[in-house]
């Protein structure tokens, strides 16, 4: 995701937190499993902290599910994951990792089945008979229902909503169609997918719903108006569902991602400098946009996480006997989120975010 922040792991976003540090993993320490923690004062001053060790790797055990008709019998859990082709707006989740964890079937869905060969290659050497690739377009209700009906076991225990797209640029440059697309995929696509599988989970009184979130759903980011709007809406939708679904033994978890080493920046829809869509945008806005593009490039080069780090958090949420509502992929509650909670008038947050992104000393 095209955002300037990632952080260290704490699955709860609580009002009581006093966290003031975030983890940034750069190219010099990413492979060694070491990261650097930044405080708000260091972010403001530009001081670079020393690296420190990451938490120990997650230990995974196979997941099973109790049969509602035979309480003493444990059944293999079944997972369905949306958008397993290109993931322009989300981390490309390694299906092979899910196969190693889940003792049952994994259903990987994608809008364009022509891309499934790359996915099948990624699970080469694993149990191909536990993987099925289905066509599913989250913007097409019938496509979602067709995919649901093709699940041989007629149930899904863990639903992973991973579809998402990005839109970057000054608001004045966006067409109505491009704005609608963001909402149709990120918001309505996710809600439609959950809606299709929810009756089955309620009937079996058991289920997990994991939704790929973003810090763009926690922090307002400049030049990401529609993306943030869609992700903020997902936060509210999931929270609303979580309150109700606890009565059905169904857990909803948001996996809050920062920048990830995928082809996100290449694939997202963005206004390039010099595009005709920017010709009526004022010079001051264009100057700030150029600075923001440099900032994003810097962050993705120096602070993005690998997809392996992301999938560990997904697996953590899948394994937990009592999953949290929010998981942060590289750490704890981010300091700017804390600032929004402790200073609810929002002025300090806006000032801190602006300084972080647009400060001439940032580079």
Could you give the residue numbers annotated as active site? Answer: 227
CA atoms within 13 A of residue 85's CA, in its CB half-sphere = 19
Q: Which of 106, 104, 138, 146 is nearest to 122 (CA)?
A: 106
As beta bridge partners, residue 210 has: 160, 253
Tokens coding 18 = 């006093």
Tell which residue, 105, 30, 101, has the closest CA to residue 59.
101
Are 1 and 310 within 8 A, CB to CB?
no
Contact 168, 289 (CB under 8 A): no
Strand-pair category, 21-24 with 34-39: antiparallel
Are 262 and 307 spatial neighbours (Cβ–Cβ below 8 Å)?
A: yes
Nearest Cα residue to 186 out of 208, 147, 156, 213: 213
Query: Between β-strands 34-39 and 51-53, what pairing exists: parallel, antiparallel or unpaired?
Result: antiparallel
Question: Is the torsion defined by CA of 310, 311, 314, 316 positive or negative?
Answer: negative
């Amino acid at each position: 995701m095209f955002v300037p922040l990632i952080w260290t792991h704490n699955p709860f976003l609580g009002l009581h937190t006093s966290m003031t540090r975030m983890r940034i993993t750069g190219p010099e320490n990413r492979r060694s499993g070491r990261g650097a923690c930044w405080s708000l004062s260091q972010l403001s001053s530009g001081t670079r902290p020393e690296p420190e060790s990451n938490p120990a790797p997650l230990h995974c055990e196979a997941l099973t599910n109790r049969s509602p008709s035979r309480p003493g019998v444990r059944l293999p859990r079944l997972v369905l994951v949306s958008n397993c082709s290109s993931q322009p707006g989300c981390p490309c989740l390694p299906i092979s990792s899910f196969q190693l964890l889940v003792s049952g079937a994994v259903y990987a869905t994608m809008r364009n089945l022509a891309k499934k060969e790359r996915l099948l290659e990624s699970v080469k050497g694993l149990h191909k008979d536990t993987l099925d690739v289905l066509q599913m377009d989250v913007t097409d209700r019938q496509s979602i229902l067709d995919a649901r009906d093709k699940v041989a076991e007629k149930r899904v225990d863990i639903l992973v909503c991973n579809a998402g797209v990005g839109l970057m640029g000054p608001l004045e440059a966006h067409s109505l169609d491009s704005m609608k697309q963001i909402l149709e995929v990120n918001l309505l696509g996710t809600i439609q997918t959950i809606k299709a599988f929810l009756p089955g989970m309620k009937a079996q009184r058991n289920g997990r719903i994991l939704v790929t979130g973003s810090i763009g759903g926690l922090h307002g980011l400049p030049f990401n108006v529609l993306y943030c709007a869609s992700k903020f809406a997902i936060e509210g939708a999931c929270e609303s569902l979580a309150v109700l679904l606890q009565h059905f033994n169904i857990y909803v978890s948001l996996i809050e991602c920062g920048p990830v080493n995928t082809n996100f920046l290449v694939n997202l829809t963005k206004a390039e400098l010099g595009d005709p869509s920017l010709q009526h945008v004022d010079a001051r806005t264009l100057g700030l946009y150029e600075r923001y593009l440099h900032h994003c490039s810097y962050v993705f080069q120096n602070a993005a996480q690998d997809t392996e780090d992301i999938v560990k958090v997904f697996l953590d949420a899948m394994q937990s006997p009592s999953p949290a509502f929010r998981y942060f992929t590289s750490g704890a509650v981010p300091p700017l989120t804390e600032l929004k909670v402790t200073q609810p008038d929002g002025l300090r947050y806006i000032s801190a975010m602006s300084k972080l992104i647009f400060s001439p000393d940032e580079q």
